[in-house]
Amino acid sequence: MIHDKLANLMYYAPILEHIDQINEVLATPYEVGTYQIGRLSFEVAEYVPSSFSGVFKAHDWATTLVIMLEGSELFALTYAERSKGAPKDDGGWITVEDSPIQTVVTAKEGMFTAFMPHEPYALGIAKENSLSRVKRIIILLEPSYNALQM
């Protein structure tokens, strides 16, 4: 996981593919919905965070980049080993249930978090006594070469 200020995102260009297209995403209007720019698929969501559901998700081969546009919420992570052998859908999403929380980070406006492949995370967790709305972008950074296509 990488958790940093959005202003520092370009410093991670050597390890985050399609960084040039991320700038295109950031230049678009932030209307709620699902979009595609080049090889990047992304979703803009606005909601009120809720309690932790107990379910983590991870992607099999892509990095998930979350950019906070408004508000703040908590992200929880569990052990990467828990994603091994866990059920996976046709899109490569892995579901991890019944796993302890290893780390919690506070995601705030103007920050980004990158979850690497097989790194289970849970988003949208409310901070204690918080009912404020948040708005975020989730970008799926698929590698240029997908080993699953072999």
Whole-angstrom CA distances from 137 to 82, 88, 109, 111, 133 are 26, 23, 11, 11, 14
Residue-wise pLDDT tens for the chain (150 aa)? 999 999 999 999 898 888 778 888 888 888 999 999 887 889 999 999 999 999 999 999 999 999 999 999 999 999 999 999 888 999 999 999 989 999 999 999 999 999 999 999 999 999 887 778 999 999 999 887 654 444
Q: Examine residue 150 and state whether it is found in any structural domain, yes or no.
A: no
Residue length, the chain?
Answer: 150
Kindly report the CATH number assigned to the domain that includes residue 139. 2.60.120.370
Distance of alpha carbon 145 from alpha carbon 150, whole angstroms: 10
> Please, what is the end-to-end C-alpha distance for the chain in angstroms?
27
Q: Examine residue 149 and state whether it is found in any structural domain, yes or no.
A: no
Structure tokens at 11: 């410093």
Q: Examine residue 62 and state whether it is found in any structural domain, yes or no.
A: yes
Q: Examine residue 15 and state whether it is found in any structural domain, yes or no.
A: yes
Q: Examine residue 148 and state whether it is found in any structural domain, yes or no.
A: no
Q: Examine residue 107 and state whether it is found in any structural domain, yes or no.
A: yes
Residue numbers of the domain that contains 131:
2-143
Number of domains in the chain: 1
Residue 16 phi, psi dihedral angles, 5° rounding:
-115, 110
